[in-house]
Amino acid sequence: MPLNAKALGAALHEELTLHSTLCRREAGAFQKAIQSGDDVVVACTQEQRLFGDLGQQTEGAVSPIRFVNIRETGGWSRDAAQASPKIAALLAAARLPDPPPVPTVTYKSTGRLLIIGPLDQAEQAAALVSDVLDVTLFTQGPGNAGGAQARRFPVLGGRITGLTGWLGAFELQWKADNPIDLDLCTRCNACVAVCPENAIGLDYQIDMAACQSHRACVKVCQVAGAIDFTRDAIAQTERFDLVLDLRSPTATPTFLQHALPQGYLRWDGRDLGTLLKLRELVGEFEKPKFFVYKQKLCAHSRNETVGCNACVDICSAEAIASDKSRQQIKVNPNLCVGCGACTTVCPTGALTYAYPSATEQGTKLKTLLSTYAAAGGKDAVLLLHSQERGQALVEELGRAAQLKLAHGVPAHVIPVALWHTASTGVDLWLSAIAYGASQVVVLTTQEEAPQYLDGLQAQMDVAQSLLRGLGYTGTHVQLLRATHPTELDAGLQALGQTRQKTPAVAARFAVAQEKRSTLEMALDHLIEQAPMPVAERPEAIALPAVGSPLGTIEVNKDRCTLCLSCVSACPASALQDNPQLPQLRFIEKNCVQCGLCAVTCPEDAITLQPRLLLAPERTQLRVLNEAKPWACVRCSKPFGTVKAIEAMLGKLSGHAMFQGEALERLKLCSDCRVIDLYSSQSETKVTDL
């Protein structure tokens, strides 16, 4: 790699010494460094295991060690000679402290494995893992060869009615509705031989569709007594730690979601890696609790009415469910896989990504971009990719470039690994543009659920509309879909063909944990630095109807009765009343476009309008509707509105219970109504006497 130690040292504000064989002849320099107590960054991921082992063997080693790949990401590229700013940025970001610990989710597995599938295949799979795992089989037909005569593993049979849970806590529900009791069956094959319809397979279960009720099997099995056509179908349940499913995903209704529960694996009978992974799932395991939920900010529901359902709809693990009775959503941390898609589409920030947090992600992006710019880099592109398939694809491209088979990662493209590509959204993307990035590109590799791509694209459409509306020409946020290094290479080369307008001055704000705060700070900077002159800017920038977290509402004044049910439904305090006057007031900056006000309004008088208002009124309280107050006909105290009282009188005038005095009483305030009702009752009693 053409590394320039002097240039890198200047960018990192320290003197650097390059080592070409640090993991071999120069290992002493590494050992000396980790004995110093200072943070150590090793810019080699190929020998990460060797460095780790060497660190454990070095006496007095106290320094934390971090690793960063600068080879495939920059050094192995046709642009390697110009990649110093990018390499400096990657080294600087690698020196950032690790995210602080967060609450964890614990799984405990003792190795009780359930294998579901044809009996012959299930027994073959069981033989490969039974030395480590306690295996039970659930037969789904005999398969091509049938089961072995020697019964090595417990076998269940019948009809599966349910399978739920996760690693260490799966619950199987089934009905033993087959006439053959597998616990009593001795596998003597007598029933198989005498059945005239060949309705009994070598899984020793009867195909009831083929059976013609000759009952020859019952007679031949009298000694064992395993066959009884009159036996009741008993519902049964049993718990397992692990599940290996040999059935086709299209043929089974079990766990059809994209992100399968931990501990549930499917096997095609060929990839032994699945069985190796299964063997390792015994013991106690922990994962971060990836999300933080703040119910007060949630726009999901009010008064059992659903407004925003974005997180429920996008979750590929089916870990999020609606709880309308409690006006909130429920997230099952055991099913959550940490993709972060729910936090990306959440308009309020009620769901936030916890590991790493938005603040830590923002610090990393800011460090990358500021170091890159300080080292002389221009037109930085952030390539956000997953740490699994995305990372592997970037490394494959780097190796192809070293073999002169590809261009490689361009010098201005900075790869950034994420736990999942769906974990960032419009707030972080716009912050990156404000920090100086010319583009934010999210690499997808077909490992993402389809709804994630839809959600990301919707967020990108919003971000792009905002930027173009402010005069930032070009495409600043986009998806890049690739499954092969050749596709990735072509996509990255295409990024350099157009130039994007960016802020003249990079932002200095720090990303906040609160999504709305970060979004507002990014917008403030982008508006301040917008290339479009103030005089030419529109009053408001129209935004897409799907996915916009910004906007206003329109109120049909002819329909609105100022019942103010929308005010009580609004989770963001965007809609407010006036204690002194019958008014509906609104702060547009607070509106998250959740739609609760629209679905709550009994008169269907509210319409959402996604937009970014550029006028100062966006942050100010303004009146959307007001009405003349109705004055009590007895004491003149104002209550309600003329329109609402007149509408009520009109609707109830024909009702049997509201005739004469009862109808007139509706024109009174609450105090006078009580007095009038009491006086009327007293006069009635005196008259009776």
- Residue-range domain boundaries for the chain: 1-67, 70-99+358-523, 108-285, 289-353, 550-626, 629-688
For residues 154 and 240, give the distance between their C-alpha atoms in angstroms, rounded to a whole number: 13
62 has pLDDT over 60: yes
- In terms of pLDDT, which residue wins out, 446 or 20? 446
| Residue 4, pLDDT score | 85
The mean pLDDT of 100-122, rounded to a whole number, is 95
pLDDT exceeds 60 at position 176: yes
Give the phi and the psi of residue 109 in degrees, each rounded to 5: -130, 125
In a 3-state reduction of DSSP, which class is residue 639? strand
pLDDT beyond 80 at 18: yes
**For range 20-37, the mean pLDDT:** 88
What is the rounded average pLDDT of the residues 142-162? Answer: 85
Question: How does pLDDT run across 544-559, given as a tens digit for each residue?
Answer: 999 999 999 999 999 9
**Rounded distance between C-alpha atoms, residue 547 and residue 455, angstroms:** 8
> Residue 430's pLDDT is what?
98
**What integer pLDDT is reported at residue 579 of this predicted model?**
86
Whether residue 428 has pLDDT greater than 90: yes
In CATH, the number for domain 289-353 is 3.30.70.20
Average pLDDT, the chain: 92
Output the pLDDT for position 684.
Answer: 62
**For residue 686, pLDDT beyond 60:** no
Greatest mean pLDDT among 151-155, 322-326, 477-481, 685-689: 477-481
For residue 360, pLDDT over 70 is answered with yes
pLDDT at 81: 94
If pLDDT is split at 50, 70 and 90, which confidence band does 441 have? very high
Confidence of residue 266 (pLDDT cuts 50, 70, 90): very high
pLDDT of residue 628: 84
The type of residue at 159 is R
Burial of 241 by CB count in 10 Å (0-12 exposed, 13-18 middle, 19+ buried)? buried
pLDDT tens-digit readout, 633-673 = 999 888 877 878 888 888 888 888 888 888 888 999 989 99
- Tell me the DSSP string of 515-545: HHHHHHHHHHHHHHT-SS-GGGS-SEEE--S
Give the start-end residues of each E strand in 346-466: 351-353, 381-386, 413-418, 439-444
Q: Is the pLDDT of residue 424 over 80?
A: yes
Fold of 550-626: Alpha-Beta Plaits (3.30.70)
Going by pLDDT thresholds of 50, 70 and 90, the confidence category of residue 331 is very high
CA angle 356, 449, 430 (to 5 degrees): 50
Is a pLDDT exceeding 90 seen at residue 210?
yes
- Look at residue 688 in the predicted model and tell me its pLDDT: 56
The dihedral region occupied by 59, where left means phi > 0, alpha psi between -120 and 50, and beta the remainder, is: beta
What is the amino acid identity at position 140? Q
How are the residues of the chain apportioned to helix, strand and coil, as percentages rounded to the nearest 5? 35, 20, 45
The stretch 585-613 carries a mean pLDDT of 95
228-246 average pLDDT score:
94
Is beta strand 328-331 parallel, antiparallel or unpaired with respect to 351-353?
unpaired
**Residue 520: pLDDT over 80:** yes
The encoded tokens of residue 576 equal: 């407010």
Q: Look at residue 219 and tell me whether its pLDDT is greater than 70.
A: yes
Tell me, what's the pLDDT at 687?
55
- What does the pLDDT average to over 600-626? 95
Confidence grade of residue 454 (pLDDT, cut at 50, 70, 90) = very high
Assign 561 a pLDDT band (cuts: 50, 70, 90): confident
Across 475-482, average pLDDT: 97
Q: Do domains 108-285 and 289-353 have the same CATH topology?
A: no
The whole-number average pLDDT for the span 369-377 is: 96
At residue 64, the pLDDT reads 87
Task: Give me the pLDDT at residue 497, please.
Answer: 77
Whether 146 has a pLDDT exceeding 80, the answer reads no
**What residue type is assigned to position 502 of the chain?**
T
Residue whose pair of structure tokens reads 């640090």 in the numeric block: 22
Q: What's the mean pLDDT in 415-438?
A: 96
Architecture of domain 108-285: 3-Layer(bba) Sandwich (3.50)
CB neighbour burial string for 438-461, b if at least 16 within 10 angstroms, e if fewer:
bbbbbbbbeebbebbbebbbbbbb
Query: What residues contact 675, with CB distance under 8 A and at least 6 apart?
Result: none
Decide if 176 contacts 161 (C-beta within 8 A). no
Within 10 A of 28 (CB to CB), how many other CB atoms are there?
Answer: 10
Q: What was the pLDDT predicted at 3?
A: 87
Does residue 252 have a pLDDT over 80?
A: no
pLDDT at 527 over 90: yes
Q: Is the peptide bond before 356 cis (omega within 30 degrees of 0)?
A: yes
